Structure 1
Amino acid sequence: MAKQLIICDCSGSQQIDATGLSQATGISCSKLHSALCTTEIEAAAKAIAGGEATICCTQEQSLFEELAGEIGAPMPPCLDLRDRAGWTSDTGQTLPKMSALIAEAGLSVPAAKSLDVVSEGLCLILGPADVALSAAEKLQDILAVTVLLNDETSPPMTRAFETVRGDLKRASGALGQFEVTLDAFQQLDPTGRQWSWSAPRDGGQSNCDIILDLTGDVPLFPAPEKREGYLRADPKHAPSVADAVLQASQLVGTFEKPLFIRNEPLLCAHSRAGQTGCTNCLDICPTSAISPNGDHVTIDPMICAGCGSCSSLCPSGALTYDAPPTDSLMRRIQTLASTFLTAGGAAPRLLVVNDHGGKMISYAARFGRGLPADVVPLELEALNTFGHAEILAALAAGFAWVDILMAPGAEQDVLDRELALANAIGGEKSALLDHSDPDALSDALFGALVPASLTTPVRPMGTRRQITRQAAKALAPEGQVLPLPADVPYGAVLVDTSACSLCLSCVSLCPTGALGDNPDLPQLRFQEDACLQCGLCANICPEDAITYEPRLNLADSALSQTVLHEEEPCACIECGALFGVKSTVDKIIEKLAGKHAMFQNPQAARMIQMCDNCRVNAQHHQVNSPFQGGDRPKVRTTDDYLSKRRDH
């Protein structure tokens, strides 16, 4: 944590309580500057040289970085207090919000894991000949360019870049590792006076690092804007083409690809024994980076764009966001809430944004009303990582309301689904804001009615499911059963006892052990807290006896096993040991005894009512038993062989 805050009121345009900040955060503050980036630049240099300081200004961060380089000192972190708290038309106290933002900035966030991606600049350009060849001429000195033509255009009389002809049938991969398949593939023959094309052939394959798609046609990949290395532009819009060409020219070298999602296959509830269960991640992934892999799923890290939708919807926690990890987000939420309340604030509201929302806040602060004093912004890399568990954790930590500001590229259907679930559990205390105008954003926040926050905040810990339950119990302490929308990962299993035969197929497939048996009695047991509502038990049930009820049971009974169905056990007619289900044995006797060739004999029919041990014993001693052999032959010894030789 920084040991000093370098504060500036930006020419007197904001109010900063240095003494209050020091008391609330435990960090000493510098004197209150007014022009740290201009006339007081020497003070900034001294603070940077001293180290262990945080400069409370991000507008001039590049200036401070340049200054640090000149004096040979490491650049201290920068924190934006002005746009997010200082510049506001709200006359309320801003000290609690500033204290919360400072405390959050002091948290250590683990660095995201990554892998290196190498692009050597092999670029494939698609599109009409005039546009594609023009783009190739601009890139020929920077990239290794190949232009794919698909019409009868005469080949260009140049060897500065490659030209081929054919139909692109398939493309896969991402930056640095694209694979393409071409039909009617023809290469250019540059010999002779008139250049010509080779004979066409199907199934031509090649690799490239970058694809520049200027066809204006259907994109080659789902969510094309999220596929790294794949650039598209409308061939009829010259500025767009120029932008795409410029972007392509920069994609040479070694790049770090973050590993956004952590996968724990053993927790996955996708399928068991050929039966499909949960498909949330497969259905929602915008880039198709997730694919089935046996009973589990696998993620292609090169295609994954890190939207975080799969981690929010995964019921088991098999997929979790790891850039940074989920627990660091929970710490940020709890730190913001606890510091705000400790500094004297009441009923704070959380505004969740990404970089787009951060810019909206800056515009609203400079040109409009800014944010209300009780609205605390939380900026994330990916909005979709903020699901129902995070919303409920924020409400339990002391936030009165949670708003998520919609942004381009975010999956709104995921946000809508998670907000609906959070509101069903937490009581309508979160919303999705969809504003592209900063003034409209400010008006919506200033005009909102703020409910009371939790009087006794809690700090839930554990997995996202555990956090959800702990937060829900804090928000609804009477331990009620909350009805939930359909297709949620919480609920009860309902069994039609008149149809269930207690075959226990559902128990063998349940991925979490929510369904269990009793080794001593024919019983089907259920622990509601562990149920993911994945669908595997309903899909495998041969009697279609299983249905679901989406709900969150906050009673302690949800943490222990209850009996869903039980029947009288069958007692062995020989030894009295309990085995199987009496009703099932009776049905088998009714259908087989005296009616099936193998059970015409009454003694054979009696075996149906025997336990395993007695049945084997009875089969062994029955007349003409297939298990009964003749007398064992006498063991022959060495003396037997020698005596036989003497006799001869």
Structure 2
Amino acid sequence: MPQFDALLVCDCAGSMRLNPDALADAAGVPRERTRACSRLCTAELDAAREALGSGATLIACGQMAGLFHDLAAELGAEERLTCVDIRDRAGWTDAGDPTPKQAALLAEAALDAPPMPAMDVRSDGVCLVLAGARPEPALEAARLLAPSLSVTVIAEAAPDLAAPPEGFELALGRLRAARGALGGFEVTIDGFAPLDPAGRGAPRFGQPRDGARSGCDVIVDLRGGAPAFPAPDKRDGYVRVDPAEPGAAARAALEAGQLRGEFEKTLHIRFDPMLCAYSRARKPGCSRCLEVCPTGAIQPAGDAVSIDPMVCAGCGACAAVCPSGAASYDAPPVAHLFARLRTLASAWRAAAGPGGGAPRVLFHDAWGAEMIALSARFGRGLPADVIPVEVPEVEGVGHAELMAALGSGFAQALILAGPRTERAALAPQLALTRALLRGARSDEERAGLIEPADPDALEAALRAPAPPPHGAAPIMALGGRREVARLAVAALAGDPPPEPFALPAGAPYGAVEVNADACTLCLACVSLCPVGALGDNPDRPQLRFQEAACLQCGICAATCPESAITLVPRFDPRPQALSARVLHEEEPFECVECGKPFGVRSTIERIAARLEGKHWLYANPEAGRMIRMCDDCRVRAQFHARDNPFALGAPRRPRTTDDYLSADDED
């Protein structure tokens, strides 16, 4: 956590209330090094210059952050400046004391932000423009792009041209398939017929052929109708504009014209295939990430899946639903989000004091930040008890993040969804969170989703009746998502812990039920369980199970040759869930020769009943008795048995010198 030498706060021309001493304590800055201003960005700019010249400075202003960063660059103090907005998010509000929230936001600003992993992407400006039944908008876009990009137009219908176009290539065809992203698209065209520039009269096209393939860096889609990719607005390098819109060509050219050069692509997801529970030995298992990925970046790859970082848009839905942690959000990591929640909640409590209530948390993305800013400037702003937490994409906020917020001390955890939010990932996670809250004897309304169309609707939703503080002791949200969710459920439930409770279908927690009459204890399920939730006992025929580790991936049920396993989605908050218990066991069979236990009694007896005296290998009593022997005794009995089919006779006596001499004498 950085140590600040100075704190500058500004009430923005007297438009909000400030408590400089409380804010200094929250930021860890001496009170004498804290200065309250009213026009820091104009008349009192020298205060910022003085503070930056003397050490690390925290400036509580977001709107004019660019000005302060320019000033820091002028002074050679870029690394000593941190800016944070407390006005739009906390200062401009219609009621309540804003100090606890302002203090929490300043404490959060003191956290070290982890570096963002990234890769370089190169686009050489090879552009494919797709035209539909009306090729005119696409041709106009191609003319605008030709000076800066290398353009080829593929039109579904022949355009009315007096002469071949200049500056770009033209061909007829229909897009069959496309894959890739900025700098690496691959397309397949059917009916491909290039323009033949030779001859007099109107331009003619060559003989069409199907399956033509090519690559490009940018695709401009002006066909109208269905897009070439799922979630088209999340595909880098794919510009899709409705050709019927006024100015469609100019808009497409403006956006595509900027897609040439070197770019930095954030690597949003860290993936460990060793933890993936997609499959084992070709038996199907967990497919949650495949079901929620909006862009198709995730594909099966043997016993695991693979994530194409170029196609991944960073929504985080896969990390939110991954039960094993194989896919985890890395920009920033979930551990950093947990640290933010802990810091915000603890700083609020410290500033509010005893009896100050509990805050609520509002997860939002960049669209939500704009909505909050509009509400603050022109409306009532956020309620004083609502702390906004910006994340790259709200789809990445799953049940673990919501439970971590509640366990850290927030009274309610809300998600602000925007027009581009993928609801398919959020809805099941919200349903799972509410089921966990019900099972923990808490109010399920502590977790919710709001979808306002404008700032007024946002203000109304946040001022609706909310659950009171839950009163549970705050947890230390450390570890993986499953561990933090379990800690939060235990904290909210209190003592004694509740009995196991049901969860929605597809939940990543649960038990397995075994049909004892069908199970033969073959232990195939144990050998393929990806997390070791199912285990055996080396000393006895037992099937053991640790419920806290179970992912409900279904590999065990798919593997069982007797169809004896059933998945039961539920949550067991008791400590017993952390220990292994016996699901099924039988008496071992004792070897008839040495008495050593081996195998399962019922299985050995069943095999003997089916083979002894009925199969030619076990026609005589001695052979039938071998079925009831352990491995060692069976080998010895087989070796010494009469009419042993594997016997090779006595070994030949080695010849000696005397043998050779005797043979010579006889001659």
TM-score w.r.t. the length of structure 2 is 0.93
Deviates more, 1:551-560 or 1:509-518: 551-560
Q: Could you tell me which of 453, 459, 475 is aligned with 1:458?
A: 475
In 2 relative to 1, CA 64–637 (structure 1 residues): closer, same or farther, beyond 3 Å? farther
Aligned twin of 1:147 = 153
Aligned twin of 2:453 = 436
1:646 to partner: Cα distance:
9.7
Q: Aligned pair 1:322/2:330, yes or no?
A: yes
Gaps of 5+ in 1: none
SS of the residue 2:83 aligns to: coil
1:639 to partner: Cα distance:
8.3
Asked if the contact 2:119/2:265 (under 8 Å) is kept, the reply is yes
1:13-52 matches, cutoff 5 A: 13-28=15-30, 30-52=34-56
Q: Could you tell me which of 252, 259, 262 is aligned with 1:254?
A: 262
Q: Aligned pair 1:421/2:432, yes or no?
A: yes
Q: Aligned pair 1:599/2:601, yes or no?
A: no
The aligned length equals 647
Distance 1:645 1:556 in 2: 88
- Could you list the per-position Cα deviations for residues 602-635 of structure 1 after superposition, in whole angstroms to 9, with x for gaps in the alignment? 2222211111111122221222212211111233
Q: Aligned pair 1:558/2:577, yes or no?
A: yes
- Could you list the per-position Cα deviations for residues 63-120 of structure 1 after superposition, in whole angstroms to 9, with x for gaps in the alignment? 3334444555427222111111111111x22211111100111111111111100001
Aligned twin of 1:116 = 120
1:37-436 matches, cutoff 5 A: 37-71=41-75, 73-74=77-78, 76-90=81-95, 92-127=96-131, 128-153=134-159, 156-194=163-201, 195-344=203-352, 345-426=356-437, 427=442, 428=444, 429-436=446-453
Q: Aligned pair 1:476/2:526, yes or no?
A: no
1:494-505 matches, cutoff 5 A: 494-505=513-524
1:24 to partner: Cα distance:
3.2
1:641 to partner: Cα distance:
7.1
Distance 1:588 1:435 in 2: 67
1:516 to partner: Cα distance:
0.9
Deviates more, 1:585-594 or 1:377-386: 585-594
Asked if the contact 2:86/2:105 (under 8 Å) is kept, the reply is yes
Q: Could you tell me which of 461, 464, 475 is aligned with 1:447?
A: 464
Asked if the contact 1:347/1:450 (under 8 Å) is kept, the reply is no
Gaps of 5+ in 2: none
Distance 2:340 2:92 in 1: 23
1:150 to partner: Cα distance:
2.4
> Aligned AA for 2:15?
S
SS of the residue 2:10 aligns to: coil
1:579 to partner: Cα distance:
1.2
> Aligned AA for 2:648?
G
In 2 relative to 1, CA 36–598 (structure 1 residues): closer, same or farther, beyond 3 Å? same
In 2 relative to 1, CA 224–640 (structure 1 residues): closer, same or farther, beyond 3 Å? farther
Asked if the contact 2:170/2:195 (under 8 Å) is kept, the reply is yes
Distance 2:212 2:660 in 1: 75
> Aligned AA for 1:224?
P
SS of the residue 2:170 aligns to: strand
SS of the residue 1:551 aligns to: strand
SS of the residue 1:500 aligns to: coil
1:512-531 matches, cutoff 5 A: 512-531=531-550
Distance 1:643 1:66 in 2: 111
SS of the residue 1:31 aligns to: strand
Distance 1:58 1:646 in 2: 115
Question: Percent identity, aligned pairs only?
Answer: 50
1:286 to partner: Cα distance:
0.6
Asked if the contact 1:174/1:229 (under 8 Å) is kept, the reply is yes
Asked if the contact 1:395/1:454 (under 8 Å) is kept, the reply is no
Asked if the contact 2:138/2:249 (under 8 Å) is kept, the reply is no
In 2 relative to 1, CA 203–455 (structure 1 residues): closer, same or farther, beyond 3 Å? closer
> Aligned AA for 2:471?
L
> Aligned AA for 2:282?
G
SS of the residue 2:520 aligns to: coil
1:455 to partner: Cα distance:
4.0
> Aligned AA for 1:171?
A
Distance 1:120 1:641 in 2: 87
In 2 relative to 1, CA 361–614 (structure 1 residues): closer, same or farther, beyond 3 Å? same
- Could you list the per-position Cα deviations for residues 13-36 of structure 1 after superposition, in whole angstroms to 9, with x for gaps in the alignment? 101111121133321454321112
TM-score w.r.t. the length of structure 1 is 0.96
Asked if the contact 1:51/1:74 (under 8 Å) is kept, the reply is no
> Aligned AA for 2:195?
L
SS of the residue 1:102 aligns to: helix
